[in-house]
Amino acid sequence: MFANLKVSEIAPNPDQPRKFFDEAQQEELTGSIKENGLLQPVVVRTVEGAEVPHMLIAGERRWRSCQAAGLEVIPAMIIEDASEEKAYVLSIAENVNRSDMTIMEEAGAYADLKAAGWTPAKIAKQFGKTETHITWRLGLLTLRPEVAEMVDKGDIKNNLAWHIAQLSPANQMVAAMRYARGDFDSEAEAQHFANGLKMMENQTSLTGEKAPDAEVQEERKKAKDKAKDSLSKAEEILIPLFEELGAKRPEDLAVILDDDLARYVRVVGKIYSQVQLVRNLLSKAKGIQRAMEDQFNKAAIEAQQEAAATQKTNAAGKPAAGEKPAANTTTKPTVKKAAVAKPASKPAARTATGAKAPVRRASAKKVEEAAK
């Protein structure tokens, strides 16, 4: 049902999935409404017994701009008997594909539906998304607030954000800050670094691992030498070869290669695929290596801090030069008091004395037998 409602008779939805409204875009919309009026009605539902009779389902930006433009009455579509869940679903549907809805707002909206019993598959079907899209968005909710803000601002791309979200809060900051300061040549490198940190988290303590035996060390050395030899050959042979071919004109190659041209196109295509595969593997390896360096550096810092704290504690316990050790002056009175104040300590002393007597007697007996 459509009706003209007073702006004052409409209240915003406190559960609105969108929390951020761009000021510049809001001012632009206000200017448009001042010139042309509200062209698209807001969507509301009736709230029985409420101080304000209608609550927004969709169109909060338009409602805000109407207020700013000084409009008193605006067109609205009233949805009767709309439950809170239905109203929330309609509100998400209206906003989810808008470019100005942030990724974290979208994730939060899906999380609310999931909390209400919706499965990712049902959410995906409702809003025309894939189930993977919904799952990845939900995965972002483990981001610590500082990193989530970077994602909302666009400082961290969506795919990288998901990889960072899989990390512990401390490592999330490590990956996010290193990406923000430009430590990586590409987003893919940053993802590989985040995955490397995840591998380190899943492994046992690096200091607790056993040192490899001689046989394992020899195998590793052979593998290293073989890999380095293969990459060196590729560097020495393939790069100059392709540089030479790349300098030729297509019409020259057409004549030079003649009937073999089609075959070499396929060969180079296979080489290209393998190069891409190896490049991706090396990039992942680089990410893991960086993560390992970070973990070792962190462990080294922690060890240094622990050593410094121990040294400080030991220094605090040592007497100053020229002073008698505090332990000598306090230990003796304590022992004496214990002997006087606690009768129970006397049997213990007797036991100790009694325990020594057989030893002395046994020694005397052995001396006597030896003398005989």
Catalytic positions, written as ranges: 60
Q: Which of 167, 173, 124 is nearest to 150 (CA)?
A: 173
Q: Give the whole-angstrom CA distance, residue 136 versus residue 226.
A: 40
What is the C-alpha radius of gyration for the chain, rounded to an integer number of angstroms?
Answer: 38
For 4, the enclosing helix (H) or strand (E) is strand 2-6
8-state DSSP, 185 = S
Tokens 């462990």 — which residue? 299
Question: Cβ distance 160 to 128 under 8 Å?
Answer: no
Helices (H), the chain: 23-36, 60-69, 84-95, 103-115, 120-127, 131-139, 145-152, 158-165, 169-180, 187-202, 214-233, 239-246, 250-257, 261-317, 326-341, 345-371
Q: What is the DSSP string of 81-122?
A: T--HHHHHHHHHHHHTT-TTS-HHHHHHHHHHHHHTT--HHH
What is the DSSP track for 29-56?
Answer: HHHHHHHH---S-EEEEE-TT-SSSEEE
Helix (H, G, I), strand (E, B) or coil at 10: strand
Q: Specify burial of residue 196 (Cβ count, 10 A radius: 0-12, 13-18, 19+).
A: buried
Classify strands 2-6 and 73-79 as parallel, antiparallel or unpaired: antiparallel
The Cα–Cα gap between 237 and 229 comes to 12
